[in-house]
Structure 1
């Protein structure tokens, strides 16, 4: 952090704005809490936000009055001659505690105590929880396959629709099926060719994946195939990353080398890569029969 004092004070002043209302006061004897300007009313409200200063000073109490100025012998002594304040007075259903000091409560934490962590949770932008990393980085993963799967999950592969939008090419037709516009959702796995590969791979390995859109497949997979030491979970992740990688590899071979494989041959390459990877790994438990036969 910079040692410039002016920078530090500027940041402190900025932090004062966002934390307004998050610190409330539990009234004891009221001697340390400003009556009009502090957040001590029910629901963390304060008088100055609900009434004009003209209305408040009409009570005869100064702008810097403390809550103790409306406490008399341990009981509330509200100035009732200003009708516009009646609703606010009536909202105060708790009683002062003359034997105790006022103390602040931090609303950002269930304990009422301030912490940097709770303040950070309030400040940061929250996004939906995404556990796709569980499908990408796991024991024995193949880096190049995980990298392609990561790009596909972000929608960053150079599919035909993206190249067309960038005005690099005119044709948006899927290179695998030649029937539909090529998008990430189409390529994984709505395209007839990729769908055949995906179904063949899962049927042969006896691994279940639901029939849903590409983003939902990733979300479902990260929520259901996440265990580190479960061989079935590990194989499911291998099959996903290998299938995505080899479909993308086939996509590029058809474009740049004019070489074509059938869906059956692509599926066989997936099996071969998974077999090769399994032979290099050690497992504490038995591998399921369906997996051994892929």
Structure 2
């Protein structure tokens, strides 16, 4: 769409001038057929016309650069060829290559005598041409009339409500693999025992961490005795108080509480959450697939050591408060 904007409106782009003179050769961009052997980029540009028709509207000046029948110059960004049948347009005696200037006389319209249907169309044109200026294109997707990639994206994309927990997942200083696992957990897309049982892939649903209850996302984070013990150890060490809430509610609470992207006092709790979720999933998988069991003391120690190391690595990017250094046993340089 950016390239279409350049073709229709740019006077400074050498490429756009070349397209107008070599590929279009006076024809309307909206009219020409896709050649049998075009370049890849030219074919893609022509194919994209179907989903951006009507968004580029021509404002009439001299009328010499605008196709009478094929360009979008009528009020509300319409074009004549889409409104009336070809037979009726042929009856005007104007060629298919006619320009808007062919129905102009100075700064007034000189509409040809025609059928009542065409007269209704002519009477709907409430503006007069302006021979003192060139025809120019405006982008209807933005109030300024100037094309921007951002405004085009907002028009084309499927708009959905913002995920309120996004800044728990992707923040400055996040660990990508841990954020990915937390994202899956926030969507309840981890392969917990209850999901595998519902898919008829397992006969039992017992949590392998505590061997006492059915494993689900709510149980794993953090109703399970093992995971809850690890989580309480991490929160205690980090000197951060988290409420005892079901998994979804806990995420919403954290998203509303730790919103400041560059504040280290908000970064550390998010790092604690993603790291704990990641290590709990890792411990669970190691028990299932490798029959390797680790105590909650060892898991907590590994989590704390990784968080501490990551905070130290963040030191060169932002200053670490003395309280954080004291809590995590970090010596100031």
For the aligned pair, the TM-score class normalised by the smaller chain equals 0.5 to 0.7
CA RMSD of aligned residues (A): 4.7
Task: Name 1:70's counterpart in structure 2.
Answer: 103
> Is the contact between residue 225 and residue 233 of structure 1 (CA under 8 Å) also seen in structure 2?
yes
Shift in Å at residue 43 of structure 1? 2.0
After superposition, the Cα gap between the structure-2 partners of 1:56 and 1:219, relative to the gap in structure 1 and judged at 3 Å, is farther
2:76 to 21, 43, 47: 43
- The separation in 2 between residues aligned to 1:270 and 1:221, in whole angstroms, is 25
After superposition, the Cα gap between the structure-2 partners of 1:138 and 1:163, relative to the gap in structure 1 and judged at 3 Å, is same
> Is the contact between residue 59 and residue 136 of structure 2 (CA under 8 Å) also seen in structure 1?
yes
- Is there any run of 5+ residues in structure 1 with no aligned partner, and where? none
Q: 1:7-46 counterparts in 2 under 5 A?
A: 7-8=39-40, 9-46=42-79
1:285 to 321, 324, 332: 321
After superposition, the Cα gap between the structure-2 partners of 1:6 and 1:58, relative to the gap in structure 1 and judged at 3 Å, is closer
Task: Name 2:34's counterpart in structure 1.
Answer: none
Task: State the TM-score, normalized to the length of structure 2.
Answer: 0.62
After superposition, the Cα gap between the structure-2 partners of 1:234 and 1:15, relative to the gap in structure 1 and judged at 3 Å, is closer
Task: Name 2:125's counterpart in structure 1.
Answer: 92
Shift in Å at residue 190 of structure 1? 6.1
- The separation in 1 between residues aligned to 2:180 and 2:52, in whole angstroms, is 41
Describe the superposition over 1:106-150 as per-residue Cα deviations: whole angstroms up to 9, x where unpaired.
4456554557x46984797567667858746754x6677556446
Describe the superposition over 1:239-278 as per-residue Cα deviations: whole angstroms up to 9, x where unpaired.
112321332244346545485857xx68964874477547
After superposition, the Cα gap between the structure-2 partners of 1:212 and 1:121, relative to the gap in structure 1 and judged at 3 Å, is farther
Q: 1:236-247 counterparts in 2 under 5 A?
A: 236-247=269-280
Secondary structure in structure 1 of the residue aligned to 2:203: coil
Task: State the TM-score, normalized to the length of structure 1.
Answer: 0.68
Task: Name 2:240's counterpart in structure 1.
Answer: 206
- The separation in 2 between residues aligned to 1:103 and 1:19, in whole angstroms, is 17
Q: 1:264-283 counterparts in 2 under 5 A?
A: 269=301, 272-273=304-305, 276-277=308-309, 280=312, 282=315, 283=319
